[in-house]
């Protein structure tokens, strides 16, 4: 009987492992870390030169409560045309022509030390570090201080390994703006409904 129970546990473990194989999750998707200015959250790296995201709340006059956990990230754009972005290498590749989904929460702060213009957010995937190969999401301009959830579905055009999130301004003028990001879920295989 003991060997029979062990066999059942091993079988269940293998089934669970096979079911999760290929799922692609981000490290630290809720962007948790000790609030600080000009600091990258654990598990993330700079997606562009000059990127100095802020782990909020509590800096630059931003006190919006997190949607999830204790912190979130703020990205800005500047008058010189530069912008901030964060990136991550995924543990498992996104497979070509496979449907994935993700969700995230976005908000805006009316008081971000002068960087007060509402922005958009873009998400890219790529096969090499900081290489933007496929745009998978562009948000509308985020001008609400309340968190809004956005859901995204996408199919990689080829196998991809990197995930890049950037502040984006398409107004035709360089502006000092901000966007807040929290609670990213996925990417994971699309639900079959």
Going residue by residue through the chain (193 aa), what tens digit of pLDDT does each one get?
566 555 444 444 443 333 444 455 899 999 999 999 999 999 999 988 888 999 999 999 999 999 999 999 999 999 999 999 999 999 999 999 999 999 999 999 999 999 999 999 999 999 999 999 999 999 999 999 999 999 999 999 999 999 999 999 999 999 999 999 999 998 999 975 4
- One DSSP character per residue, 52-95 reads --EEESSSTT--PPPSSSS-EEEEEE-TTS-B-EEEEEEEEEEP
Structural domain contains residue 21:
no
User: Residue 34: helix, strand or coil by DSSP?
Assistant: coil
**The CATH number of the domain where 51 resides is what?**
2.60.120.260
Structural domain contains residue 144:
yes
What is the distance between the terminal CA atoms of the chain, rounded to a whole angstrom?
A: 40
Structural domain contains residue 10:
no
Supply the pLDDT for residue 2: 62
Contact indicator for 90, 163 with CB cutoff of 8 Å: yes
Which pTM does this prediction carry?
Answer: 0.86
Structural domain contains residue 4:
no
Structural domain contains residue 18:
no
- Determine the structural domain holding residue 104 and report its residue range: 26-189
Alpha carbon distances (Å) from 155 to 84, 88, 102, 166, 190: 25, 18, 12, 20, 10
Number of domains within the chain: 1
Structural domain contains residue 149:
yes
Structural domain contains residue 77:
yes
Structural domain contains residue 19:
no
Supply the pLDDT for residue 47: 87
């Amino acid at each position: 009987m003991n060997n029979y129970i062990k066999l059942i546990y091993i079988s269940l473990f293998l089934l669970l492992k096979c079911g999760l194989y290929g799922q692609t999750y981000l490290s630290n998707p809720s962007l948790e870390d000790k609030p600080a200015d000009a600091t990258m959250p654990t598990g993330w790296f700079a997606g562009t030169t000059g990127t100095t995201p802020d782990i909020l709340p509590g800096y630059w006059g931003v006190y919006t409560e997190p949607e999830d956990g204790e912190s979130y990230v703020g990205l800005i754009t500047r008058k010189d045309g530069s912008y901030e972005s964060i990136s991550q290498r995924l543990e498992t590749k996104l497979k070509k022509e496979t449907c994935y989904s993700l969700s995230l929460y976005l908000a805006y702060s009316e008081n971000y030390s002068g960087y007060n213009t509402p922005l958009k957010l873009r998400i890219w995937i790529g096969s090499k570090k900081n290489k933007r190969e496929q745009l998978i999401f562009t948000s509308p301009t985020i001008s609400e201080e309340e968190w809004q959830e956005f859901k995204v579905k996408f199919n990689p055009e080829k196998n991809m390994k990197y995930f890049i999130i950037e502040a984006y301004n398409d107004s035709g003028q360089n502006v000092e703006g901000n966007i807040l990001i929290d609670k990213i879920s996925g990417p994971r295989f699309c639900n079959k409904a």
